[in-house]
Amino acid sequence: MIETERKFLVRSDGFKKEAKSATRIVQGFLNTDPERTVRIRIKGDKGFITVKGKSDAGGMSRYEWEKEIPAGEAEELLLLCEKGIIEKTRYEIPNGKHFFEVDAFAGENTGLIVAEIELFSEQDEFDRPDWLGEEVTGDRRYYNSQLSRNPYSTWDGEE
């Protein structure tokens, strides 16, 4: 249940032609404490509750527990979430034995496109497509829990 992933900015929309799927996601947070976040998500027509622990020093690994719940219950729980609902389209792109999840954000985070790749270990290697930009692994500003409270549109050109 330890999640190991790296996160990157995306520099072009070239990823779209490689995508095997595109799914709308709406999510909110019942708790954004850095020690443990509790997320409610509707992905397509499915609901999920996820608990994530604190990231390690490098920001690459952390505990994650997720359970599917009825979409109707997820919709009800979204009403209890902290301010700042995240909306995005997730594109899934194969990459050797891995795959990238590229999130094109909407709403107050429009303009932000982030790619994540989940790895088997921190030493795992992967191919870097040409649309992949600067690595932002461990930069808390790009955590969804932070984007819900401090949206990309409020960053004033800082990146």
Contact 116, 12 (CB under 8 A): no
| Within-domain flag for 159 | no
Query: Is residue 158's pLDDT more than 70?
Result: no
pLDDT at 112: 98
| Within-domain flag for 16 | yes
Confidence of residue 82 (pLDDT cuts 50, 70, 90): very high
| Within-domain flag for 53 | yes
What are the DSSP E strand ranges found in the chain?
Answer: 2-10, 21-33, 36-43, 46-53, 61-69, 86-95, 98-105, 113-118, 132-135
- How far from the centroid of its chain's Cα atoms is residue 3's Cα? 12
The residue segments making up the domain with residue 32 are 2-154
Q: In total, how many domains does the chain have?
A: 1
Confidence of residue 57 (pLDDT cuts 50, 70, 90): confident
pTM score of the predicted model: 0.93
Assign residue 85 the CATH number of its domain: 2.40.320.10
| Within-domain flag for 29 | yes
Confidence of residue 156 (pLDDT cuts 50, 70, 90): confident
d(CA 158, CA 88): 21
Q: Give the phi and the psi of residue 40 in degrees, each rounded to 5.
A: -115, 130
**Which amino acid is it at 88?**
K
Q: Give the phi and the psi of residue 115 in degrees, each rounded to 5.
A: -110, 135
User: What are 102-140's pLDDT values in tens digits?
Assistant: 999 999 999 999 999 999 999 999 999 999 999 999 999
Average pLDDT estimate for 72-80:
98
